[in-house]
Amino acid sequence: MPNSVDAPPFHIRIARVIVSIVVLVPVTVFVGYGGCLVLTVLAKLGGPDPTTDDGDLLRDRLFDWPDRNREVMRTDGTTPLPLRP
């Protein structure tokens, strides 16, 4: 009993899958790692680091944020935050 939908032959379907893999893997790698490289270069060339009101580097303050506020996280936010980033 023939199919009501004409499907392409098996070798054509396999060729399409192989072409898709050969095309999509490099694109995925380029977008993934390429995007990371672009963001890294932009961060390096972007100018001076922003600082907080008291002169600390914002990136250092944000890096320390989870450790300083661990007690707040343990109490589900019922205690006040000690210091804003």
Instruction: Classify residue 82 by its DSSP letter.
Output: S
What percentage of residues in the chain have a pLDDT greater than 90?
18
Q: What integer pLDDT is reported at residue 84 of this predicted model?
A: 63
Alpha-carbon distance values, 16 to 8, 12, 13, 23 (Å): 10, 6, 5, 10
Report the sign of the C-alpha dihedral through residues 18, 19, 24, 26, in that order: positive
Question: Taking 60 as the threshold, does the pLDDT of residue 2 lie above it?
Answer: no
Domain ranges of the chain: 9-47, 48-85
Q: Which two three-digit tokens encode residue 38?
A: 């672009």
What is the CA 74 to chain-centroid distance, rounded? 27
pTM: 0.36
For residue 78, give both structure tokens: 């019922």
**Residue range 71-85, pLDDT digits in tens:** 777 887 787 776 665
Q: Which two tokens stand for residue 15?
A: 């060729």
